[in-house]
Amino acid sequence: MTPASARAAGWHRLRNPHTDAVYGGFLVPGLVLLLLGYLMPVAQVLWISVTEPTLGVGNYAAMFENPIVQRVVWTTVRICTLTTVITVLLGYVVAYLLTHVSERMRRLLLLAVLVPLWLSVLARAFAWVMLLRSNGIINSVLLDAGLIEHPLDMMRNEFGIAVGMIHYMLPYAILPLLANLQGIDQRLIAAARGLGASPATAFLKIFLPLSVPGIAGAATLVFVFSLGFYVTPAILGGGKTLMIAEMIAVNILTNLRWGLATALACSLLATVLVTLGLMSRVVGTRRLFGLS
């Protein structure tokens, strides 16, 4: 008998139907909590989206027919895509630096990365208001230096929203990228350098391809989180640049168009699930979430 078959036979003898039932019972509270706290509210939101104000898919059709909704959707996609690209690029640079510095310096830099996570999103958004507004710090410095003649318009537009979102999402890009980059065997780079490859060639041919799962995971995380941003666009956009989350709030609280609001919410959820599904097919679920 092989060791594997011996272990299987031993496990068979240890298994007890009564024990299995007890262990299975431990799952019941979690399943009930998931059903009551998540699945039922999602089902209710989906039901409202196809029954309010009348039964049908008119609310979903409005996303393709209503020019206002289309503009908000494309604005959201554009800002989220830009945020994802810039955030992942900046996060990769920081994660690469963290991978190649001393342990003491890595701890200090990680502390600098983690500190923003402990601050309220509201506080960070208002901090950017103080920096970006017409009479803010940035415009005051540029005006005093004579670099500009008039204050730059950096708020109540897509630029201000993107800046706030990139700042908020940077830690969420840096941490998964750092976990991935630290798992790359540095001896492969040393071997390539020993065989005559330049630093740029070793990076492009070896290091960068091995870091693709980390890039994909960070990009997915940033994009998914960006889709549901509400506070930062509401403050830095100033009501002039709407994203989907803010439009959902307006339709629920002000316009009382619950059907359209829930349809947008369901579409957001579907987009998140499709994005996760596509990335898991391309990269692999375990590699996408850093499990292997």
Task: Write the pLDDT tens digit of every residue in 226-250.
Answer: 998 999 999 998 888 889 999 999 9
Judge whether residue 9 has pLDDT over 90. Answer: no
Q: Are residues 257 and 271 in the same domain?
A: yes
Residue 162's pLDDT is: 94
Residue 4 and residue 88 in one domain:
no
**What's the pLDDT score for residue 38?**
81
CA torsion angle 165 166 169 171 (round to 10): -150
Same domain, 168 and 225: yes
Mark whether 93 and 133 lie in a shared domain.
Answer: yes
Contacts of 277 (CB under 8 A, 6+ apart): none
pLDDT in tens, 66-88: 899 999 999 999 999 999 999 99
12 and 86, same domain (yes or no): no
8 in the same domain as 143: no
Q: State the residue range of the domain holding 42.
A: 1-51
Same domain (yes/no): 27, 119: no
The pLDDT assigned to 96 comes to 94
Please state, in angstroms and rounded to a whole number, the distance separating the CA atoms of residues 79 and 165: 9
- Regarding whether 21 and 5 lie in a shared domain, the answer is yes
Cα R_g (the chain), whole angstroms: 25
Q: What is the DSSP string of 60-103?
A: HHHHHH-HHHHHHHHHHHHHHHHHHHHHHHHHHHHHHHHHTS-H
- Per-residue pLDDT tens digits for 83-92: 999 999 999 9
Mean pLDDT of the chain: 86
Task: Give the three-class secondary structure for 156.
Answer: coil
Does position 283 have pLDDT exceeding 80, yes or no?
no
Residue 36 in tokens: 């009551």
The structural domain count of the chain equals 2
Tell me the mean pLDDT in the region 30-55: 86
Residue pair 167/87 in contact by the 8 Å Cβ criterion: no
Query: Per-residue pLDDT averaged across 28-32, rounded?
Result: 80
Rounded CA separation 210/192 (Å) = 14
pLDDT (mean) for 258-282: 87
Do you know the residue count of the chain? Answer: 292
CB 10 within 8 A of CB 2: no
Residues 133 and 204 in one domain: yes
pLDDT at site 79? 95
What local confidence, expressed as pLDDT, does residue 97 receive? 93
pLDDT for 247: 92
pLDDT at 11: 47
Q: Tell me the per-residue pLDDT of 120-152, one tens digit each, with 9 for 90 and over.
A: 888 899 999 999 998 899 999 999 998 888 899
CATH number of residue 167's parent domain: 1.10.3720.10
Residues 178 and 230 in one domain: yes
Asked if residue 83 and residue 42 are part of one domain, the reply reads no
Mean pLDDT of 3-11: 51
Rounded distance, CA 214 to CA 283, Å? 10
Q: Is there a contact between 49 and 61 (Cβ–Cβ < 8 Å)?
A: no
- Residue 151 C-beta-side C-alpha neighbours within 13 Å: 13
Which of 51, 68, 86 is the endpoint of a domain? 51
* Region 100-111 average pLDDT: 90
In this structure, are 12 and 128 located in the same domain?
Answer: no
